[in-house]
Copies of this chain bind each other. A is one copy, B any other.
Amino acid sequence: MANQKINREQIIIQALETLQKSKSFTQFSLRKVATDLNVDASTLYWHFKNKQEILQAMAAYVVGRVKIPDTNLKWDDQLKQLFSNMFDVYERYPFSAILMIETIPSDLVRLKLIDHTIGIMVDAGIDEQTANVAATSFDFLLTGLNIDLTVENRFRQQIVQNKNAEMADHVKIIHQNIKNYDLKHMQSSVKIRNQFSAKEQFEMGLDLIIDGLKKRLN
C-alpha cells in the first residue's frame, strides 16, 4: 500500500494524534496507529521494540514541548511558570498525564526537567531533600488533576451527546450520595470544582506547597 518509508518521529506524532481521537486510553491501540499511517501493524515493530517503547517515546515528545522559564525570575515565580507551562502542554495533548504515569522517566528530556525543577529550589536555599519531596508533590498534583480533568471532559462530552448513560449515572449517584448522607464538605467541594478551572485548582495547590517551602526557609 504505502511505498513511503516512515520513521520513528512520524510514528510517535501519529500515535499522539490517534491517542487524541481515542475515547479512552484503553481504546488507544497500535493497530489504529498503523491504520492511520497506512501501514500494517507489524511494521511498527521494525521501528520500535514494543508498545511500551512507543508510549515512552510519546511521553518524551510531550515533555519536550515544555518551555523552561527565565532563570532570572524569583524562584517561586520560576516554579509557577514552569508548572503552568507543563499544565498547558498536558492539556494540549490529551491523556498525556496518563502517559506519564504509564511510563518511566528514563529519557534525557524528562530527567533534565526534574533536575531543573529541583535546581530552582536548591538555588533558593532549600535543602536537597525537601526540594526533592516538593518536586515529587508538584508532579503528582499536576498529573492527578490533569487526569481528573481529562476524565471530566470526556464525561461532559459523552453526557451531552447522550452517548454514555453510565457516566451520567455516575454523576447522579455522586449527587444522590452527597445529598442522602449529608456530606457537607463534599457539597462545597463540588461547588469549588465548578467555580474554578482545573488549572486554577492546580495553582492553588502549588501555592500551598510553596507556602510550606517558605515556612521552612524562615
Contacts and interface: CB of A to CB of B under 8 A. Distances in A.
Interface of A: 49, 52, 101, 104-108, 111-112, 114-115, 118-119, 122, 128-137, 139-141, 143-145, 147, 151, 166, 170-171, 173-174, 177-178, 181, 183-186, 188-189, 192, 201, 204-205, 207-216
Contacts of A174: 104-106, 111
Nearest to A144: B140
Copies in the complex: 2
Contacts of A114: 185-186, 189
B209 A136 contact: no
Contacts of A101: 101, 144, 147
A131 B189 CA distance: 9
Contact of A128 (B52, B183, B185, B209): B185
A129 B185 CA distance: 10
Given A128-B185, A136-B141, 7 more contacts: A101-B101, A111-B177, A133-B201, A136-B145, A136-B201, A137-B209, A140-B140
